[in-house]
Amino acid sequence: MFQEKTSANHLNVVTTSTEDGAFQKKAHSARILSPEEAERLENDRVLVSEFKQLKLEKEAQKNWDLFYKRNSTNFFKDRHWTTREFQELKAFREFADQKLTILEAGCGVGNCLFPLLEDDLNIFAYACDFSPRAVEYVKKNALYSTERCKVFQCDLTKDDLLENIPADSVDVVTLIFVLSAIHPEKMHLVLKNIYKVLKPGKCVLFRDYGLYDHAMLRFKSGSKLGENFYVRQDGTRSYFFTEEFLSQLFKSEGYEQVVNEYVQRETVNRKEDLRIPRVFLQSKFQKPFTSQGRGKNLGVKNASPPHFKEKRKNRIKIHLHLGLIYPCFLHK
């Protein structure tokens, strides 16, 4: 079910009720905070020390590997909603039985990968993850087959995807709850890497945490790394995207924006009478048929947010706004 409304600023808002009973709407405006929420965020100004910020960046892979060691394959739910939310996973075909090549960038333990392979027998998938342990879990899955997918470990900010995937060969790239775990100053490197393997005219399908999501509001004081950037107690990090920042980030690497909007869900726990506001950013960005002007759209080298400044100390580059997290994962 859906209903389309037009707000006072003439932006279309589509509201739906999802299969799990959650209320959902899509819009171009961010969630409005209550006065209490706004005050709490305003007063949260203490940042994690520079020393710890650098340590978190250095140990990012280790922290994610430990996360999967603790949780195995049981933490995240399988994402059966992917084809519902992203029709391109089927619509990109020119004929019904055409083989579709996808890349799941940041595959985790396969919560998105395996539902896709089960749902569509004409998909071949490349899949990679930062965590070697996560990659091993994927390879041990009973549904894993080298005839249908190729899985490999990869740091998307520095490992060249061309070592495992031919240039301009991928029909669809999924980037789902991945970019938020990467430092904002390195996010453009991921998009640059993906650009090389994506076919001209094809899309990156993006979904991740949006500004003022419930997870962002639950962070305790001392968890803040920078504006909209936090660290959990286990050392893994999370950035909460604005529509404007994400648009700038992709456009600065030569992509064209197709769709970029907030998805606001209200999950109701009737047993405890709780209403949980979830906010995600769901987007589609296309690699143009010609790549002229790539990286020149905005006249910037990359789209790192302005609040992530740098300074030099003893000739060493130090990032000012990394920080500590507290253990609050919510199902995506």
Q: Using one digit for the tens of pLDDT, what is the confidence trace for 9-54?
A: 333 444 454 444 556 787 778 888 889 999 999 999 899 999 999 9
- Bridge-based pairing of strands 23-27 and 12-17 is antiparallel
Contact 281, 263 (CB under 8 A): yes
Q: Angle at the Cα of 302 (from 298 to 308), degrees rounded to 5?
A: 115
The mean pLDDT of the chain is 80
Q: Which helix (H) or strand (E) holds 64?
A: helix 60-71
89 exposure class (CB count in 10 Å sphere: 0-12, 13-18, 19+): buried
Q: What is the DSSP letter of 32?
A: P
Task: Write the DSSP assignment of 297-325 as a string of letters.
Answer: SSS-S----TT--EEEETTEEEES----B
Q: Which of 159-163, 205-209, 250-254, 303-307 has the lowest mean pLDDT?
A: 303-307
pLDDT score, position 190: 98
- pLDDT top residue among 143 and 193: 193
The string of pLDDT tens digits covering residues 226-250 is: 999 999 999 999 999 999 999 999 9
- Bridge-based pairing of strands 198-209 and 170-176 is parallel
- pLDDT top residue among 33 and 210: 210
The string of pLDDT tens digits covering residues 67-107 is: 888 875 554 444 545 655 556 666 666 777 788 999 999 99
pLDDT score, position 98: 83
Ranked by mean pLDDT, which of 258-262, 307-311, 315-319 comes out on top?
Answer: 258-262
Q: Which two tokens stand for residue 118?
A: 């089960």
pLDDT score, position 327: 35
Phi/psi of residue 269, each to 5°? -100, 95
pLDDT score, position 178: 95
Q: Is the per-residue pLDDT at 151 higher than 50?
A: yes
